[in-house]
Amino acid sequence: MMVSTYRTAAFVLALGLAGCASGGSGTPRNDSPLGGAEIMAYTNVQLALETLRPSWLRRAREVFIDNELAGPVEILRRSFNERISRIELVPSREVIRRFGPCQAPAGTGTLDTPRDPQCGTRPVIHVVLFSGR
């Protein structure tokens, strides 16, 4: 009976340590979308995400803007305009359903870059602009 108690305690401790490690530096992971107003104080989207959602930059490799492939996350270093409505992290399980197959059609994307070879196994960052209509 005593061995079972120790095993249970060790298992619970291991789960707790794994949870801390997955959050990165002890901070909880936040996957809630960012509103455009939250990022206006930053010079570019990457800087905003480094501060507000750092795990997104470690987890995602691709960026979509209004459901269109824009390129790798490095494009977020560019300055941006105030038309951003929100930014969301789309989970890997939804990527293909929302954005289509991993083979990008010729001529799509602002950088004409091929899709991430791990498409569908990693989340993507989706920037949604105000429609202006």
How many domains are there within the chain?
2
Distance, CA of 125 to CA of 73 (rounded, Å): 8
Neighbours of 60 (CB within 10 A): 24
Domain match, 18 and 76 both? no
3 state DSSP class of 100: coil
Same domain, 73 and 36: yes
Do 38 and 62 sit in the same domain of this protein?
yes
My answer on whether 103 and 65 are in the same domain is yes
2 plus 51 within the same structural domain:
no
* 89 and 36 in a common domain: yes
The beta strand positions in the chain, using DSSP E, are: 34-35, 62-65, 68-72, 84-90, 124-129
| Average of per-residue pLDDT values in the chain | 76
pLDDT attached to residue 114: 63
Q: What pLDDT is attached to residue 93?
A: 92
Q: State the pTM of this model.
A: 0.69
User: Quick one: 65 and 105 in the same domain?
Assistant: yes
Assess whether 67 and 111 both reside in one domain: yes
21 plus 5 within the same structural domain: yes
- 49 in the same domain as 107: yes
Domain that holds residue 25: 1-29
Q: What is the pLDDT of residue 94?
A: 93
* Same domain? 82 vs 93: yes
pLDDT in tens, 75-112: 999 877 678 999 999 999 999 899 888 765 555 554 55
- Are 108 and 61 found together in one domain? yes
